[in-house]
């Protein structure tokens, strides 16, 4: 949050990249290689998702530790708090602190695969707000805390206003930063920011930008949260939906247009859901004119033992 505040004070545009833990060992190796390359695009921070219910928790912790302590990337660990025991939350926070990670995205979580509803465990947490409070109680100001914002309103809450008040409660409980759910209607996102400001939310709000990668992938991803996609986008995609390369290019142009519109409104930061892919992110930054590696970026430290392990 200190880095983001500094960027905002300087009026500098900044961005961040989200990754998820791959399913295979080869996938992990590929992810590390990609992180190394994408570091040159100068993300203010990177973040690593947490499997709902703690599935793949060890891998998230391992990737966070490698990114933070081996590569020296400013890393944020996602952490959900439902469907898993409090001890698992404690372990994850302890490991994060031990490796020097200072950033947590505190989330409620969705139900694990195969389960329809989420559950709080005995002695556990019900909402992300509970987790924010707990981290502040246990760790004071050690961690910068981000929380999720839902520009369309969260799917479980029929009232957008009520959902926004819960977002404010998370910030009042100690969150420093909001990262939003993906969206495909930029004006709706801008309206969300305005509604946040109107109720006294003053922290930075980072829009979650998802470059569309393919037509069926888009359909799948919006099905989780029932995201609204404007008819114009469906119409544009209809003609190219069988051509993955054309859909990718369309996704890049769309993301660029969203970011340009945000910049016009004075929003300086954006968060890219990379899906562990590099090309779309690179081209988005290039098209915005941010392709040259930032001058102050030092090469990542070479770690022989890590490289030996990976080969
Ligand atoms: P909350 O803020 O707890 O809100 C959940 C619902 O409860 C909302 O409907 C809200 O209105 C309502 N609510 C909140 N507080 C109260 C209260 N006190 N009383 C009554 N109702 C209340 N999921 C993962 O499993 N792993 C991830 O890594 C992950 N990363 C994400 C990253 C981002 C940027 C975003 C936006 C989402 C991510 N998610 C992830 C998904 C997230 O877990 C789901 O969206 C989840 O359904 C809600 O999480 P939340 O933290 O927003 O929940």
Ligand 1 neighbour 166 (Cβ under 6 A) = yes
pLDDT reported for residue 124: 75
Mean of all residue pLDDT scores within the chain:
92
Structure tokens at 117: 């509803």
Q: Which of 8, 9, 10, 18 is catalytic?
A: 18
Ligand 1 atom at shortest distance from the alpha carbon of 179: 34
Determine the Cα–Cα distance for residues 290 and 37; give it in Å rounded to an integer.
15
Q: How many CB atoms lie within 10 A of CB 199?
A: 12
Q: Using a 6 Å cutoff on CB, does residue 210 contact ligand 1?
A: no
- How high is the pLDDT of residue 289? 93
Q: Per residue in 64-110, pLDDT tens?
A: 999 999 888 999 999 999 888 899 999 999 999 999 999 999 999 98
- Residue 311: per-residue pLDDT: 46
pLDDT number for residue 301: 64
Ligand 1 pocket check for 154: Cβ under 6 Å:
yes
Task: Give the closest residue (by CA) to ligand 1 atom 42.
Answer: 109
Q: Is the CB of 211 under 6 A from ligand 1?
A: no
Residue 295 falls in the annotated catalytic set: no
Please determine, for the modelled complex, whether the ipTM score is greater than 0.85.
yes
Residue ranges, the chain, pLDDT below 70: 112-123, 292-311
For the record, the structure tokens of 163 come out as 């959902």
CB 102 within 8 A of CB 72: no
Helix (H/G/I), strand (E/B), else coil: 176: coil
Integer angstrom CA distances of residue 144 from 25, 70, 139, 285: 30, 20, 10, 26
pTM value is 0.94
Ligand 1 pocket, mutate which of 21, 57, 96, 107 (most atoms under 8 A from CB)? 107
């Amino acid at each position: 949050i200190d880095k983001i505040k500094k960027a905002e004070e300087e009026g500098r545009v900044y961005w961040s990249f989200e990754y998820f833990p791959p399913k295979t060992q080869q996938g992990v190796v590929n992810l590390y290689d990609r992180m190394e390359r994408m570091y040159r695009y100068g993300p203010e921070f990177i973040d690593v998702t947490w499997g709902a219910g703690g599935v793949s928790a060890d891998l998230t912790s391992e990737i966070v530790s490698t990114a933070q302590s081996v590569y020296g990337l400013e890393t944020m660990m996602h952490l959900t708090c439902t469907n898993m025991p409090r001890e698992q939350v404690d372990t994850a926070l302890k490991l994060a602190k031990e490796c020097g990670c200072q950033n947590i995205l505190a989330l409620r979580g969705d139900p694990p695969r195969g389960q329809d509803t989420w559950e709080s465990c005995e002695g556990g947490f019900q909402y992300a707000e509970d987790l924010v409070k707990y981290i502040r109680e246990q760790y004071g100001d050690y961690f910068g805390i981000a929380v999720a914002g839902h520009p369309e309103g969260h799917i479980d809450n029929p009232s957008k206003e009520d959902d926004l008040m819960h977002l404010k409660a998370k910030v009042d409980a100690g969150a420093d930063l909001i990262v939003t759910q993906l969206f495909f209607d930029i004006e709706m996102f801008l309206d969300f920011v305005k509604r946040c400001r109107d109720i006294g939310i003053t922290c930075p709000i980072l829009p979650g930008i998802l470059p569309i990668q393919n037509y069926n992938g888009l359909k799948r991803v919006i099905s989780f949260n029932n995201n609204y996609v404007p008819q114009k986008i469906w119409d544009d995609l209809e003609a190219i939906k069988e051509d993955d390369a054309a859909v990718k290019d369309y996704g890049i142009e769309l993301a660029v247009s969203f970011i340009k519109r945000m910049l016009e409104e004075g929003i300086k930061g954006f968060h890219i859901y990379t899906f562990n892919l590099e090309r779309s992110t690179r081209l988005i930054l290039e098209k915005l004119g941010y392709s040259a590696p930032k001058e102050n970026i030092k090469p990542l430290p070479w770690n022989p033992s890590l490289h030996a392990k990976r080969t």
